[in-house]
Amino acid sequence: MVTCLKSVNQNKKNHSIYDFSSKRERNLWYLILTLVIAIYSTLGLAQTLAETLRGTGLAFALFVIGYLLVIVTILTQGLKKRPGSLEIGIGIGVAAVYLLVLSRMAIAAERTHVIEYGVVAVFIYEAFMERKNQGFQVPLPAIQAIVLTSVIGLLDELIQAILPSRVFDPRDILFNVLASIMAVGASVVLSWVRRKITSKQQKISEK
């Protein structure tokens, strides 16, 4: 046991804070980078696309796809294993809250922000949690994920400020923050419930 702990500590010393803790963490950050680049690269076309699709059936279809994407991302990353009845109930509740929030947003761009940055926030949170689970110091991973996602959203708006077809809108920054809080919060709750159920099952099996 002592030898194992020494090996873990030595492994930490051999890695800096800039190293990936695992292959999964590396893949998560690459995925996050890809998503952010995709979001930024379409800023100039987003307004034109929204105007073209407005009032069409395709716009509704894209909304449904985006809604399902963020829900599936939260559920798959938050649970990872076959869910129980309680977890399914919470998952349905999360889906209902998202549907209520998104349906109350009259502007398509607002819904887009909640969907895009909700997905980004979940993957950032998972990257931080993976690093923490590998033994690295990651204080308050949920808060860090929300802050980093909000900063990425702020940069999104700053880029829009210099684009001729877009404008800087402080409300979108708030939507980005809301998206990160909703997504990370849902993921945290699902993970917490999963840990509680697993711990209870282990205690029962030990009796």
More confident residue, 6 or 61: 61
Structure confidence by residue, pLDDT tens digits, 105-121: 666 667 777 888 988 99
Contact 21, 131 (CB under 8 A): yes
Name the token pair of 5: 């702990």
How far is CA 173 from each of CA 67, 86, 150, 152, 156, rounded to the nearest angstrom? Answer: 20, 34, 7, 10, 9
The enclosing H or E element of 172 equals helix 170-206
Give the chain's mean pLDDT: 76
Q: How would residue 6 be classed by pLDDT, with cut points 50, 70 and 90?
A: very low
Structure confidence by residue, pLDDT tens digits, 148-205: 999 999 998 898 888 777 778 888 888 889 889 988 998 888 888 777 777 776 666 6
- Residue 148's pLDDT is 96
Q: Which residue ranges make up each domain of the chain?
A: 50-206
The contacts of residue 101 (CB under 8 Å, 6+ apart) are: 114, 182
More confident residue, 92 or 37: 37
Report the pLDDT averaged over residues 35-48: 77
- Residue 167's pLDDT is 77
- Residue 201's pLDDT is 67
